[in-house]
Amino acid sequence: MGDRYRQRQLFEATPSLAWEKAEDQWFDRKSYRVSPVELARHLIGFANAEGGTIVVGVENDRRVTGMDAYTEQENGLRQAALDHTEPPVRHTADLIECVDNIGTPNHLLVFEVHPSDEVHQDTAGHVHLRIGDQTRRLNPEQARELAFDKGVSNYDVTVIPMASAADLDESATLSFAKAVGLGSEARQALRARGLLVGPDAHVSCAAVLMFGSLPQAFLPNASIRVLRYEGIRPATGTRSNVVFDRRLEGTIPSQIEQTEQVMLNQLRYLTRLDERSGRFVTIPEVPRFAWLEAIVNAVTHRSYSLQGDHVRVSLFDDRVVVESPGRLPGPVRIDNIRETRFSRNPRIARVLADLGIVRELNEGMKRIYEEMVLAGLPEPQLEQTESGFRVTLFNRPESERHFVEQLLTEVPPGFAPAVQHLLNQGDITTASAAEMTGYSRQYVRTRMQELEADGFVRRVGRSVNDPSSFWELSIVLRARWRT
């Protein structure tokens, strides 16, 4: 996954993929007619994104022309990065064998473009970015955002022109000074963390977001919006299914605290067996750590320079979705996010650590995965959108939740171990259920027949007296229901 831009060997092994494979985030193909200037645009786009592979010698209609007859053109293309990209895009260029559209042995020119920690542009000063199957030219604001994404510069140190020290909450800054061991020296504490900038101690974006009396007066969309939808898809107009909508403002620590309370009230709960106590207990539909860590990550690492959007938390019947403005920063990619740490807003992250918020919660995406697995839920779904990042945490659908809750009401407490096994594994034999519960086989058989009559289970066997028969759930659960 981490080297998806390296595809030359793939095309060497199966040349037909060069004209059959769909273009995507990591792959493009070009005609031999492509100019060095145009090729440079795509080299830049891949380098500024996640790297990629470009195959030259295939027409738009997927006819294979190859490069053998176009040596002069090939030389120009090999020099495109040096002549037309700034700084020069790092890449390799190799010929691979193929058979062209008239059945003659030929060669394709394959460029493997490395992902870059720098922002590349063409000689006209234009910045390009690969997004999906297209290479797009960025406007100045988007190019600046790309620089923030790559960690070339940090927006959280940007001075807020209209803000002054008087716009910071004095009690909050004093508490922070004490937390970092500087007593009542609030100004010194803010300087030490880079929140006051320059000799004149100008107030930074991070200072306003962490300690501002009214942060949204300067950064209107530095907020979290929580929405609860009825169902699994959003609807609009007269069919709108939004049943809860609240925008949470204030400082980042305050937003996190407010959002946690709102989520605890809005999340649904379900019943499951606690294997240690042997009792059925009530738990939230998604583990607390998973959704809270996703929210903390969103407000800590979002792009605050994209001031037209906010962090959005959407609750559906089957999932919780956390969306934040700004693509993954620096070296962080979806395939390495569990191991790689990099902050778009290092000053904000440091202060949150000083306050104990990140230290308590930010054990990373790796633990989110672990918590979801321990809860018997699907792994998180991570997506980069055109201008943001999305984390989806799936819970059990409403139909599953209703099915299980109804099933639990149909059995006595002593039958719980058998039910738990059935929910985990999907099937159980009469003998196994009797052994787990301590009931007689006849009692278990009668109870299972009652559950079958109510539509919860079905008997699977070749005959009425088949000794290898077993009972299985009447529906397939998407995830295990266990501790």
State yes or no: pLDDT of 226 exceeds 50: yes
State yes or no: pLDDT of 358 exceeds 80: no
Residue 398 is predicted with a pLDDT of 61
State yes or no: pLDDT of 362 exceeds 50: no
**Helix 430-437 × helix 416-425 angle, to 10°:** 130
For domain 224-270+278-394, the CATH class is alpha beta
Residue 482 is predicted with a pLDDT of 40
**Topology adopted by domain 398-473:** Arc Repressor Mutant, subunit A (1.10.10)
Q: Once rounded to an integer, what is the mean pLDDT over residues 52-59?
A: 96
| Contact indicator for 5, 115 with CB cutoff of 8 Å | yes
Note the CATH number of domain 8-138. Answer: 3.30.950.30
Question: What's the rounded Cα separation, in Å, for the pair 207 and 195?
Answer: 5
- pLDDT digits 0-9 by tens, 11-21: 999 999 999 99
The two domains 224-270+278-394 and 398-473 share their CATH topology (first three levels equal): no
What residue type is 145 in one-letter code?
A: E
Q: Once rounded to an integer, what is the mean pLDDT over residues 203-222?
A: 96
Q: What is the pTM of this model?
A: 0.67
Least confident range from 95-99, 136-140, 281-285: namely 281-285
| Contact indicator for 120, 142 with CB cutoff of 8 Å | no
Domain boundary assignment for the chain: 8-138, 155-217, 224-270+278-394, 398-473
Q: Once rounded to an integer, what is the mean pLDDT over residues 422-440?
A: 90
Least confident range from 102-106, 420-424, 445-449: namely 420-424
State yes or no: pLDDT of 228 exceeds 90: yes
Reduced 3-state DSSP string for the chain = CCCCCCCHHHHHHCCCHHHHCCCECCEEEECCCCCHHHHHHHHHHHHHCCCEEEEECECCCCCECCCCCCHHHHHHHHCHHHHHEECCCCEEEEEEEEECCCCCEEEEEEEEECCCCCCCEECCCCEEEEECCEEEECCHHHHHHHHHHCCCCCHHHCECCCCCHHHECHHHHHHHHHHCCCCCCHHHHHHHCCCEECCCCEEEHHHHHHHECCHHHCCCCCCEEEEEECCCCCCCHHHCCEEEEEEECCCHHHHHHHHHHHHHHHCCEEEEEECCCCEEEEEECCCHHHHHHHHHHHHHHCCCCCCCCCEEEEECCCEEEEEEECCCCCCCCCCCCCCCCCCCCHHHHHHHHHCCHHHHHCCHHHHHHHHHHHCCCCCCEEEECCCEEEEEEECCCHHHHHHHHHHHHCCCHHHHHHHHHHHHHCEECHHHHHHHHCCCHHHHHHHHHHHHHCCCEEEECCCCCCCCCEEEECCCCCCCCCC
Residue 360 is predicted with a pLDDT of 45
Residue 470 is predicted with a pLDDT of 94
Residue 379 is predicted with a pLDDT of 86
Residue 442 is predicted with a pLDDT of 93
- pLDDT digits 0-9 by tens, 131-177: 889 999 999 988 888 888 776 678 899 999 999 999 999 999 999 99
- pLDDT digits 0-9 by tens, 379-429: 899 998 878 899 999 887 667 767 887 888 888 888 888 988 888 788 999
Burial class (CB in 10 A: 0-12, 13-18, 19+), 475: middle
* Structure-model confidence comparison of residues 423 and 441, the more confident one: 441
